[in-house]
Copies of this chain bind each other. A is one copy, B any other.
């Protein structure tokens, strides 16, 4: 199953880092050598893929508040103990519980075609037994704004813009706005439902879900994402001679809130145990896939990286805390709960990093930290360079689960994955173990282990920023 990975030696860069005086980087030559060893040993075959396999077999999907979510928490607690983490615990998180229910849709004209679709997370259901209406197409929110309400009233609004494939995933942010704001914008003009071309990059006939957000004071209308081949046919038919109707049946609904948990474990620091380098991921997944890339891979990466650090002959100066957040996908419940529960020790969070962009190779190292930390960050960058990781800037944002902590002032680093293929499977049934490359996962472990170790080890401080508001 596992393919051998080439060992990256990167001697020149590593020796250069080691040659910088310890007084400047806050890191001894021995610490640099340990980071290089962590890096190179993970590269020839880490245990991350096996962790991910075990998680997906034991608990998939892990949608917030479902039995799969609970099974994921149980798996994580048992696994953290087995891997030797300290202070293993489940911290309670209340999560919303939305149920997809039955979902089906048909392009009705000129002959019926059942489409592949997925309700957007949080969507209301259709009236019984279903909803049939004509379709009006717009590229995006701007085109919708330009339409008269008369052209929209009583119809499905179909958002047609297609996401662009990029290494940094920036095509996602540009296209996803219609998923969040589209249903209420359409309802404001009298639409009865929303059809969204899936925010994803694959030509496969698979639909991409994701959360939508209703604005208060407007009718809540059902909203679904269509696969690209279905969106293509709908667009082509809308260009024909006859009006095109769509029929939608959706039984989505909210149930009562449910208790879930953030799962936490630590590698206790040898000198400054109260200073925390937080390694994050989210344990929940959407209800459709296995949550292998999103975000089982992230959890496997940070667990395996921290486990390796914990097995060093000498632990790093600071504590490494692994946090497997609950319910990132459907409202950041775990992130909010963590920030609230740890409000007293927020300033003890020296640095945060989250892995939540799949399992592609890390290609960029960036940070947001005080200028005084620059020599240590330079040393980390030098150790990462042989992995094909370029040096970023001081503008890192961190993962979604870090937002409350970053807004409170916590410095962050990013080890950004290559997202070229990530949005082929993101939020779909096809987010499975079989789409994860073991070698790329190992490269991630190599990068996270080396960077986390050095960040926890350096005597330099990363600073703490003034609080900022966040949505």
Please list the residues of chain A having a beta carbon within 8 angstroms of any beta carbon in chain B.
Answer: 53, 56-61, 66-68, 70-71, 102, 110-114, 116, 203-206, 228-229, 232-233, 236-237, 240, 287, 289-290, 428-430, 432-435
A53, B235: Cα distance in complex, Å: 13
Tell me whether A58 and B111 are in contact (CB under 8 A): yes
Residues of B within 8 A of A66 (CB): 112
Within 8 Å by CB of A113, from B60, B113, B434, lies: B60
For the complex formed, measure the closest distance between the CB of A183 and the CB atoms of chain B, giving whole angstroms.
Answer: 25
Give how many copies assemble into the complex.
2
Known: A102-B102, A204-B204. A116 touches B429 (CB 8 A): yes
Tell me whether B57 and A236 are in contact (CB under 8 A): yes
Residues of B within 8 A of A287 (CB): 114
Within 8 Å by CB of A68, from B67, B112, B237, lies: B112
Tell me whether A204 and B58 are in contact (CB under 8 A): no
Closest B residue, CB atoms, query A107: B60
Within 8 Å by CB of A433, from B111, B229, B432, B434, lies: B229
Residues of B within 8 A of A56 (CB): 233
Within 8 Å by CB of A233, from B57, B70, B236, lies: B57
Closest B residue, CB atoms, query A424: B204
A428, B66: Cα distance in complex, Å: 29
Tell me whether B435 and A203 are in contact (CB under 8 A): yes
Residues of B within 8 A of A240 (CB): 57
Closest B residue, CB atoms, query A104: B102
Closest B residue, CB atoms, query A108: B67
Known: A68-B113, A70-B111, A112-B67. A205 touches B60 (CB 8 A): no
For the complex formed, measure the closest distance between the CB of A369 and the CB atoms of chain B, giving whole angstroms.
Answer: 40
A229, B111: Cα distance in complex, Å: 33
For the complex formed, measure the closest distance between the CB of A411 and the CB atoms of chain B, giving whole angstroms.
Answer: 37
Closest B residue, CB atoms, query A58: B110
For the complex formed, measure the closest distance between the CB of A427 and the CB atoms of chain B, giving whole angstroms.
Answer: 13
Task: Show 27 residue pairs from A and B whose CB-CB distance is below 8 angstroms, ordered by the A residue.
Answer: A56-B233, A57-B236, A57-B237, A58-B110, A58-B111, A60-B113, A61-B113, A67-B112, A68-B111, A68-B112, A70-B111, A71-B110, A102-B102, A114-B287, A116-B429, A203-B434, A203-B435, A204-B204, A204-B430, A205-B428, A205-B429, A205-B430, A229-B432, A229-B433, A229-B434, A232-B434, A233-B290
A204, B434: Cα distance in complex, Å: 8
* A-B contacts besides A68-B111, A71-B110, A232-B433, 12 pairs, CB < 8 Å: A53-B236, A57-B236, A57-B240, A60-B113, A60-B233, A67-B111, A68-B112, A68-B113, A102-B102, A116-B429, A205-B206, A205-B429
For the complex formed, measure the closest distance between the CB of A207 and the CB atoms of chain B, giving whole angstroms.
Answer: 10
For the complex formed, measure the closest distance between the CB of A118 and the CB atoms of chain B, giving whole angstroms.
Answer: 12
Closest B residue, CB atoms, query A54: B236
Closest B residue, CB atoms, query A428: B205
Known: A116-B429, A229-B433, A429-B116. A59 touches B205 (CB 8 A): no
For the complex formed, measure the closest distance between the CB of A321 and the CB atoms of chain B, giving whole angstroms.
Answer: 27
Residues of B within 8 A of A53 (CB): 236
User: Chain B CB within 10 Å — which of A56, A66, A113 has the most?
Assistant: A113
Residues of B within 8 A of A58 (CB): 110-111
For the complex formed, measure the closest distance between the CB of A267 and the CB atoms of chain B, giving whole angstroms.
Answer: 29
Residues of B within 8 A of A60 (CB): 113, 233
For the complex formed, measure the closest distance between the CB of A69 and the CB atoms of chain B, giving whole angstroms.
Answer: 9
A60, B234: Cα distance in complex, Å: 11
The 5 closest A-B CB pairs, nearest first, are A71-B111, A229-B432, A203-B434, A57-B236, A205-B430
Closest B residue, CB atoms, query A228: B434
Residues of B within 8 A of A290 (CB): 229, 233
Closest B residue, CB atoms, query A434: B203
Closest B residue, CB atoms, query A289: B205
For the complex formed, measure the closest distance between the CB of A52 and the CB atoms of chain B, giving whole angstroms.
Answer: 13
Residues of B within 8 A of A228 (CB): 434
Residues of B within 8 A of A289 (CB): 205
For the complex formed, measure the closest distance between the CB of A128 and the CB atoms of chain B, giving whole angstroms.
Answer: 16
A116, B431: Cα distance in complex, Å: 12
Closest B residue, CB atoms, query A112: B67
For the complex formed, measure the closest distance between the CB of A56 and the CB atoms of chain B, giving whole angstroms.
Answer: 7
For the complex formed, measure the closest distance between the CB of A102 and the CB atoms of chain B, giving whole angstroms.
Answer: 7
A433, B203: Cα distance in complex, Å: 10
A66, B113: Cα distance in complex, Å: 10
